[in-house]
Structure 1
Amino acid sequence: MGIISKAAASAHRARPFYEEHEISDELKSVLEEEAKHLVGARRRSTEDAFEEGERFDRIATLLPEGTLEKWAVECCGYTARHVRTKRAVHRNLQAYKEILVALAVGPTVLGKMSAATPEQVEQIIGFASTHDRLRVQDVTAIMSGSKEDVEEKPELDPYDVGGPDGLKAIIGIKVRDGMKSFVRHIEEIRTHVLEALPKNNIVKKDLAAKIHLTARLANRELESLVQFVRPHPNDRHTMTSTELPAKSGWEKVSRLLYKMGSETSWPDKAELRTWLETEVVPLLNWVVPEKGDPVRPEVKADVAASVVASANAVADTSAPAKTSASPKAKASSRPSLEENLARLTDGFAAIMTGDFKVPASDDDAIPSVAEALAKPEKRFQRPAFIDKIKPTSPPTTAA
């Protein structure tokens, strides 16, 4: 039976479902189109497995709550277990998608992996990177903690691993943790600014005192992340950082952070509010967007009204911070730190072989500037090497 015939037969079987739940004709057409894709899907590649899970999640938002599995059974001929497994693959393994695609892990194996903990997923990926083929029994053995079918490999500190693998590992740690720290500092600066804007009288001295050290640190973090080092053009004995492209978005961000890092370089009080509304907040929103993807920053006066509205939202939902640390309360429209990091780290993957012994880092381990100055420096805690974006809750296969 062809794909079209299968889809038509499924649509006929699903008619009672549509009538029972009073599905409109317009939505019915959308659902039947989705069903055609599902019925005709190859489901042979790693990409296909993730795409199918994503499609099920999307369809779930169109249907009455709790009816996805019944729809999939009646309209597509799938079992409820199949639907739960595919959604779990999309939800629980999305952070590891790139490396799983590179390793060509099969859909059946992915289904088994979807119930694994993050630590088990890392171990499975490490095993797969040194073997020609990853089997379901390999995954089962790792998840059950079996020592019989799984090779034991020594744990290695990435800082003691030479060659490209070791270099990739420590570069991955630097980029991942460096970006996390940079994003937090930008959000801290933005929060202080948004809390100050609704006030009738912005005290420049007080606001600058809260921000200037954090801005100085963020500027150095940005320089460390994106700029190269070279001999100074006029003095080969002096090493200096390269410059960002003139008038580019990130060059504007660097200049802004440099300016905010000195209390004496801030505009006079008469120009302070305009500067904060039309230059500072738009650029900070470009670095860590509140909604949508980053776009080229255009500092225009007509954004001032939306900036003030955003500031008022923060003022209404959170009290001013008592320390230099950013407040926990955020405007509801603002993405979480994890979402911002996901957007910034999309496409980055440090592919390494070997089992590296790297302690997991705590999101709260990165202190504010005031906290950092108040206690002696410690060696930076390094997270697990494959943990690009740690899931915030245990994996689940529930619909």
Structure 2
Amino acid sequence: MASIDRKIQRAAAVKQTKKTRAENNTATKKKVRAAPSPKESDEQLSPAVEARLSEIVARVVSLHRKSTSQIFELGECLAEAKSVQPEKRFGRWLKDNCGYSVRSAWNFISVHERLADHRERHEKHAIPSTALIELAKAEPDQIEDVIKLYDEGKSLKPSEIKALVGGKKDEAEELTDLRQLGGRTGLQKMAAAKLKSSTAEFHRLIAAVLVGLDEAVARHESGKRIVMNALAADVEINARHASDLFKDAVAPLVPVERMPKANLQHEQFGLKTGWGAVQHSLYRLGGVGSWPVRDDMEKWVIEIARPALRFAVHGEPYVVCADAATSPVVEVAKTDSDVTKNEQIAAEKEVKADETIPAISDDQQDATLGSLVAAGKTATEARISQ
């Protein structure tokens, strides 16, 4: 009986020992994790670097980002601070000394590094920080295009710059030739790639068109007339290309009514919807030759076209104006209808031409062809003999 008790006690002791050992191991691991380990951010900097960083901190604190010049100087200071200390130390240095997040610092550094070549032009136009940050994300040719708009006197909002420059290509994007991917997956990837590029280009174009419309409306609000030739030069080509991209990207192809053999045509969205107004406005703006008279065109630009494009670029609600459904809208709708009718007539003529029976028989055609060949041969022989 005593031996059994000893066995029970021994087993309990072993169990307690294992439990205590596990608890001790857990506590040790926690202490190891909590103990400070040597880090790159804890490296000691030279006195010269410490002194320079102190100077940079003083300069950064004094910059209030009230001017374009200060934005560039801030980016320059942060870029230098980043370069003179270990990379992993930079984030903590920002937090302790400047109050900027790493992301914000990178934005200002990007402005300094990517827009330095055009700094004088940026300062001349007093471009704000948010617009500069968006512009710094663009490709070099896109940056030049946006600055040219400023040189022409245009004023762009950050959202407009973002729409103009679109998205940069991902350098890590696969180099697979999508044309070699078969099946449904291949088709879907090709369609997705096309939609992505078309959408970016569409937004770039309509943002440029909206800049022209905003300037025209601002001129009207200042008591001046809209100069139609200038407006046409600003918007026509971009609107025409944007109209094509819009139809190609989102407008479904539907059969032509009463013409089952004709090619499919893009569906026209209703004019009382936001995107229908966008489709309608781009189509009209892209055809200067069919613009209505000045007064009607001014009213149409102010009440329909500009609100529609602000809906497309900025996401502002599009409200149908009761007075807008007057002559300009009716005329545009009539023009669109006439174009469709003309296309239908042309298609019907082509179908009829294909089904027309020749006016002469096959034997008559062969005889005529033979006589023409013989005549040509005789004329050639005559020239040779001469």
* TM-score, L = length of structure 1: 0.35
* TM-score, L = length of structure 2: 0.36
Instruction: For CA contacts below 8 A with separation 6 or more, give which structure has more relative contact order.
Output: 1
Structure having the larger proportion of residues in helix = 2
